[in-house]
Amino acid sequence: MNQKAFGWSQFNSMPVIGIMRNFKQSDIEKILPLYADSGLNTIEITMNSTGAEQSIQYVRENYGDKLNVGAGTVCTLQDLTNALQAGAQFIVTPIVNVEVIEECKKQSVPIFSGAYTPTEIFTAWNAGADMVKVFPMVGNAIEYIKAVRGPLPHIKLVPTGGVNLQNCGEFFAAGASGVGVGGQLFDNNLIKNNEWSSLADHFSLFAKKVKQIFL
Pairwise CA distance, residues 162 & 127, whole Å: 26
Catalytic residue among 29, 44, 61, 195: 44
Q: Which of the residues 133, 146, 170, 209 is marked catalytic?
A: 133
Cis amide bond preceding 33, omega within 30: no
Catalytic annotation present for 133:
yes
Whole-number Å distance between alpha carbons of 116 and 70: 21
**211 part of the active site:** no
Burial 90-106 (b: 16+ CB within 10 A, else e): bbbbbbbbeebbebbee
- DSSP H or E segment with residue 63: helix 52-63
The residues annotated as belonging to the active site are: 44, 133
